Amino acid sequence: MRCKPIYLICSFLLATAPAYAVELCGKPAQGEILVGRMPGVKTAVLGKTDLFVDNEGTFLMALGRDEPAAATLTVGNAEIGQTYNLEVAPTAWDIQNIKGIPPRKVTPSDSDLRKIELEQKLVRAGQQTMSSVPYWKEGFIMPVEGRVSGQFGGQRIMNGIKKNPHAGMDIAVKEGTPVKASASGTVTLAAPDLFYSGNVVIIDHGYGLHTIYAHLKEIKVKRGDVVKQGDIIGLVGQTGRATGPHLHWGASVAGIKFNPPSLLTINTGDDFCFNL
C-alpha cells in the first residue's frame, strides 16, 4: 500500500514533463512550410490554427505572409499541453504594378461580388479537407517550367488600385502547356470559369496541405480523382483575371497560404531541422 502514492506521483511527473523537444524541419520565416515532429503528441496548434497530427506525432505548419515575429506553437496529449515560442524571420515582399486588366476584374459590380463570394466559399471548401494519407512525403516538383512573372506575397497594384497581396506564384508559359500535379493527392476541386481564378484545380496532399492551379485553359481531372505526381491535370491558359497565359500555383496548410516553391525542399534531410 505504501508504494501506491509514490507510483502515482511518479506517473504524474512523467505525464506533465515533456519527454522530447519539438523538432521542426524547414526555414522559420514568413511564407514557409515546416514539418514538425514530437513523439506522443496528439494535438498541435499554431497561433489559433489547429493542425493535423498523425499517430507518430508528425504535423505540417505554414508561416503566413504576415506571420508575427514571435509565433506560438502549442502541442499536447491527453494529459497536458506545452507552448513553445518560435522566432519567425521577416521576408522582403516585392511590389507588382500590373496594368491592362479589364476594369470589371479590378472593380467588380454588385452581381459580380455575389458570384465572387460564392466562388470563394467553393475554393475554401476545397482547401479545408484534412486527409490522413501522407502523399506529401514523396516530395514535390514544379507543375510547369517557365518564367516567374509573379512572386508569392507581392503587394499588387492593379490599374493603379492597391489590391490584396499575391497568394501564389505566377509562371508565364505558352498557352496549352501541360500542367503537372506537383505531388500525388486527391482532387478536391475542379471548377470552371471562376471570376478571378478561371478554370481551377485543387489537390489535397494530406495533413491539411493543398496546392491550387489556376487560370487553366482546360481541366483534365474531376473532383475525387486520385492523381500521381507528374500526372497532367490541365493546360496553361489565361482564364479569369489574367493579362496573358500563365499558371498561378498556390499552396496552403490548414488554410494558411505560403510560398509554394518552399515545397521543393520539403523532406530534404536533417540539415534543415532544429529543436524548440
Question: Which residue has 519567425 as its cell numbers?
Answer: 88
With vertex at residue 21, the alpha carbon angle to CA 15 and CA 23, rounded to the nearest 5 degrees, is: 135
Chain centroid offset of residue 75 CA: 20
State residue 191's pLDDT score.
97
Tell me the pLDDT of the chain (276 aa) as tens digits: 344 433 333 333 334 444 468 999 999 999 999 999 999 999 999 999 999 999 999 999 999 999 999 999 999 986 788 999 999 999 988 766 666 667 666 677 878 788 889 888 999 999 999 999 999 999 999 999 999 998 898 765 656 655 578 889 999 999 999 999 999 999 999 999 999 899 999 999 999 999 999 999 999 999 999 999 999 999 999 999 888 999 999 999 999 999 999 999 997 765 689 999
Q: Shortest CA distance to 134 belongs to which of 207, 211, 38?
A: 207
Domains of the chain: 3-91+265-275 (2.60.40), 95-259 (2.70.70.10)
State residue 4's pLDDT score.
40
Question: Which residue has 476545397 as its cell numbers?
Answer: 126
Question: Which residue has 532544429 as its cell numbers?
Answer: 274
* Conformation bin of residue 260: beta by default, left when phi > 0, alpha when psi is -120 to 50: alpha
